[in-house]
Amino acid sequence: MNIIVLIAGVHDPKWPITPDSEANGLPAASHQVPSPFDEAAIEIALRIREARPDTLITAHVAGGAAGEKIARTIAALNITDVSTVELAAPWDQAATARSLAALCGDADLILIGREFGDYDDGMVPALLAGFLDIPLFARVQTIETQGDIRFTREMDSYVETLKVSSRLLASVTNDRRTRLRKPLMKNVMLARQASIGETVTQSASSSAIGIENMAPRNVDRHQTRCAMISGPPEVQARTLATILWEAR
Partner 1 sequence: MTDVIVIGGGAAGWAAALAAAQEGATVVLVEKLAESGGSSALSGGCLAFAGTDLQAAADIEDSPDALFADLREVGQDVNDAALVRTYCDEQLEAYSWLGQAGVRFSPVIETASGQSVPRAHTVDPADMVRALKAAALATGRVDYRPNTAALALEESADRPIPAVRLADGSIAEAGRGVVIASGGFAKNPEMLMQYAPGYAEAVFVAGAGSQGDGLRMGLALGADLRDMDYVKGTFGKHPTDETNDHSLQAVYKGAIAVNQDGQRFVDESISYKLLGDAVMAQPWHTAYQIMDQGIFDTGDDRVRILDFGRRLEEGLFYVGDSLEELARQIEIEPAVLVATVQRYNGYVDAGHDPEFGRTCLVHRHGRLRRIETAPFYAYPSTAVVFGTYCGLRIDSHARVLRADGSAISGLFAAGEVTGGFHGAAYMTGSALGKAVVFGRIAGREAAAAAA
Interface residue list for partner 1 (CB under 8 A):
14, 76, 179, 181-189
Q: Which is nearer to partner 1, 32 or 201 (CB)?
A: 32
Residue 26, Cβ neighbours under 10 Å: how many? 14
Q: Which of 38, 31, 30, 28 is CA-nearest to residue 8?
A: 38
Alpha carbon 28 to its chain centroid, in Å, reads 21
Q: Are 34 and 40 in contact (CB under 8 A)?
A: no
Minimal distance, residue 10 CB to partner 1, in Å: 15
Q: Which is nearer to partner 1, 13 or 147 (CB)?
A: 13
Instruction: Give the integer Cα–Cα distance in Å for 203 and 101.
Output: 9
Length of the chain in terms of residues written: 248
Minimal distance, residue 55 CB to partner 1, in Å: 17
Minimal distance, residue 113 CB to partner 1, in Å: 19
Instruction: Give the integer Cα–Cα distance in Å for 24 and 211.
Output: 8
Q: Which is nearer to partner 1, 39 or 118 (CB)?
A: 39
Q: Which is nearer to partner 1, 189 or 244 (CB)?
A: 189
Alpha carbon 60 to its chain centroid, in Å, reads 10
Minimal distance, residue 59 CB to partner 1, in Å: 18
Instruction: Give the integer Cα–Cα distance in Å for 214 and 37.
Output: 29
Q: Which is nearer to partner 1, 192 or 238 (CB)?
A: 192
Q: Are strands 142-144 and 150-155 parallel, antiparallel or unpaired?
A: antiparallel
Question: Could you give phi then psi for residue 194, rounded to 5 degrees?
Answer: -65, 150
Q: Which is nearer to partner 1, 95 or 172 (CB)?
A: 172
Instruction: Give the integer Cα–Cα distance in Å for 189 and 76.
Output: 8
Alpha-helical runs (H) found in 93-192:
93-101, 123-132, 185-192
Q: Are 35 and 8 in contact (CB under 8 A)?
A: yes
Q: Which is nearer to partner 1, 179 or 238 (CB)?
A: 179
Minimal distance, residue 42 CB to partner 1, in Å: 14
Minimal distance, residue 17 CB to partner 1, in Å: 19
Minimal distance, residue 176 CB to partner 1, in Å: 9
